[in-house]
Amino acid sequence: MFIVTNMWITVVIALVAIYIIVAVLVSRSRANKGPRPPEYPGALPLIGHGHLFGSGNSDAFWLLLQDCYRFANSNSGVAGLRIVQTQYYMVTDPDDCVTLANTALDKDVVYDFMKPFLGEGLLTATVPIWKIHRKLLTPAFSQGVLDGFIGVFNSQSKKLVSSLNQEDGKKPFDFWTYIGPNALETICLTAMGGATTDDRLTSKYMRATENLYNIIVSRFQRFWLHNNFVFNLTSLGRRQKKYIKMANGVTSAVLERRKNELVNGTPNSEENSGKKLKAFIDLIIEYSGERGLLSDQEIREEVSTIIIAGHDTSASTIVYTLVLLGSHPEIQERVFKEIDEVLGDRDVEKQDLPKLVFVEAVLKEALRLYPIAPFIVRRLTESLKLKHYTLPAGSSAFLAIHALHRHKMWGDDAEHFLPDRWLDKNRIPEHQAAFAAFSLGRRMCIGKNYALMNMKTTLAHLIRSFRFKSNISELKLKIDLMLKPHAGHYIAVERRM
């Protein structure tokens, strides 16, 4: 018995020794390719920086990331971070960010949490599939298609204004409770068309996506739920399954109906008003139908992706913009003046949008200071050569959007809300990575123009109806998958006469 145990101990020691030797050789072979970026302080043996991330405390996570940005900035723009066996790099140097965005198109494993729902939709797709789908979907986001959505943007904005009337002159409140559901409904209408409103499919879909989004956020914060097997055993995992089934039931029903209408030529209910709303789902069926390129499941995944990527981002940006305008009354009045001059009392039309120059400057400045995606994470399938370092294949890199937006190239007033800088070419840094709220390179946001049109229309209706009051100094942030307010985001509204 003693001998047997002894033998096992020997075997275990031998295995551990082999593991250590292999690990050292692997890291040597990586190191040999050139100097390695400095490591962010505080790493422990084995778990690396894992203890700094895995606390589940999302405001501490934001403080940590910012400190990591500072550390990288003071060390030639790249810093190493290790979570257990996975090597990450924080990239803040603008040139290196461009290289990263253009060369590394694969998404990091954190995006895999969304895969049970979004599958091979654009946001989460592997590169070979992404290339085909991106090409196929690009025409769906052309200006001509987007112009067809202005009616929806206007009516949704008016709906928002009328629901806000009940807050007139009252205490500050959480604006998200109004804009969140409104924005989700807007994107559902443009993604799946008005046909969904008849039978309350939209509200069912909204309930499912809202829950799914919250489940993904909760899982992200709890590192012990990151493992698929463990997650599937939890109640959170079971709820995710339930809501995915619910959401997919809706997209399947809409898809079936749309396909039947295309075959039978049955008129849609929207056609009565003269102009038919072409929703994303119609366009995707059309593009894929001719060449039979996408399966039903792929179409559903793309529609769900557009909805997930499109609602929270725009809605949160509106919240930040209103908190900023509510803290800068003189700028808010200038926005009001421009809207009043361009529009008067009527709805927004497509030719008005380019004239809302100051509104656009305000939105861009809000996106610069509070980019809802403060970083993106790319997986390196091949080694990546940056200015000073070569990052090894198998690691992942953070592209630090938030750090780019406050980089010294923006000048000493980088921390200040100054929409006027967007009106003067000389005050905008020339570097292509100076502004990256919609990411950079070939895999940047496909919905950028949709988002700007929608947000401009929403702001136009809001600012001409209400005066907003807030206090930006009280704003505190956290990372909930995206950059979210943690406190101090309350806003009061007062009806303009």
Euclidean distance between CA atoms 287 and 64, whole angstroms? 44
Query: Interface residues for ligand NAG in 429-488 (CB under 6 A)?
Result: 471, 473-474
Q: How far is the CB of 57 from ligand HEM (least distance, A)?
A: 23
Site string for ligand HEM, 300-319 (x = CB under 6 A): -----xx--xx--xx--x--
State the sign of the Cα–Cα–Cα–Cα dihedral 161, 163, 169, 171. Answer: negative
- 161 in contact with ligand HEM (CB under 6 A): no
CA 10 vs. chain centroid, Å, equals: 51
Extract the tokens encoding 102: 């253009």
**Binds ligand NAG (CB under 6 A): choice among 241, 275, 337, 427:** 241
**Binds ligand HEM (CB under 6 A): choice among 287, 398, 450, 466:** 450
**CB within 8 Å of 417: residues ≥ 6 apart:** 324, 327, 328, 331, 365, 366, 369, 472
Query: Interface residues for ligand NAG in 106-135 (CB under 6 A)?
Result: 116
**Binds ligand NAG (CB under 6 A): choice among 229, 263, 344, 408:** 229
**Binds ligand HEM (CB under 6 A): choice among 184, 369, 384, 445:** 445
Which range binds ligand HEM by CB under 6 A, 75-83, 227-235, 319-327, 438-446? 438-446
For ligand HEM (CB under 6 A), the number of binding residues is 22
**Binds ligand HEM (CB under 6 A): choice among 97, 123, 188, 491:** 123
- 325 in contact with ligand HEM (CB under 6 A): no
CA distances in angstroms from 273 to 153, 262, 276, 282, 441, listed in the order given: 16, 19, 8, 18, 40
CA gyration radius, the chain: 25
Name which of 197 and 439 has its Cβ closer to ligand HEM: 439
Amino acid letter, 345: D
Euclidean distance between CA atoms 104 and 386, whole angstroms? 12
Euclidean distance between CA atoms 198 and 192, whole angstroms? 12
Euclidean distance between CA atoms 481 and 460, whole angstroms? 29
**Binds ligand NAG (CB under 6 A): choice among 142, 162, 228, 266:** 228
Extract the tokens encoding 130: 């992404």
Q: Which residues pair with 18 in a beta bridge?
A: none
- 234 in contact with ligand NAG (CB under 6 A): no
Strand pairing report for 390-391 and 482-487:
unpaired
Look at the block and give the residue holding tokens 């969304």: 114
**Binds ligand HEM (CB under 6 A): choice among 437, 460, 475, 477:** 437
- 490 in contact with ligand HEM (CB under 6 A): no
**Binds ligand NAG (CB under 6 A): choice among 232, 252, 268, 390:** 232
- 172 in contact with ligand NAG (CB under 6 A): no
Euclidean distance between CA atoms 390 and 34, whole angstroms? 6
Q: Which residues pair with 396 in a beta bridge?
A: 88, 379
What residue ranges bind ligand NAG (CB under 6 A)?
116, 228-229, 232, 241, 471, 473-474
What residue ranges bind ligand HEM (CB under 6 A)?
122-123, 134, 305-306, 309-310, 313-314, 317, 372-373, 376, 437-439, 443, 445-447, 450-451
